[in-house]
Structures are given as structure tokens and as C-alpha cells.
């Protein structure tokens, strides 16, 4: 159970970073195509 305390925040952090990267890539594509 103690390991879950360290594993869960890591998984959540990776998921947030992945979503931010995905949103950033989509945003860059929108910017590039808008010009």
C-alpha cells in the first residue's frame, strides 16, 4: 500500500503532462494552419 502513495501521483503527473503535450501539439497545428 505504501508504494501506491508514490506510484499514483507519478501516474497522474505523467497523464497531465501527456494531455498538456497533446493540447500543445494541437494548438501548434492550429496556429500553423491559420497562417
pLDDT tens, residue by residue, 6-34: 899 999 999 999 999 999 999 888 887 87
The pTM of the full predicted model, rounded to 2 decimals, is 0.61
Q: What pLDDT, on the 0 to 100 scale, is given for residue 12?
A: 96
1: confidence class by pLDDT, cuts 50, 70, 90:
low
Quick one: pLDDT at residue 35?
A: 65
H-assigned helices in the chain = 2-34
Q: Please state the domain extents for the chain.
A: 1-35
In the predicted structure, residue 2 carries a pLDDT above the cut 80: no
* Helix, strand or coil, per DSSP, at residue 27: helix
Amino acid at each position: 500500500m505504501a508504494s501506491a502513495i508514490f506510484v499514483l501521483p507519478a501516474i497522474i503527473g505523467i497523464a497531465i503532462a501527456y494531455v498538456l503535450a497533446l493540447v500543445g501539439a494541437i494548438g501548434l497545428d492550429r496556429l500553423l494552419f491559420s497562417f
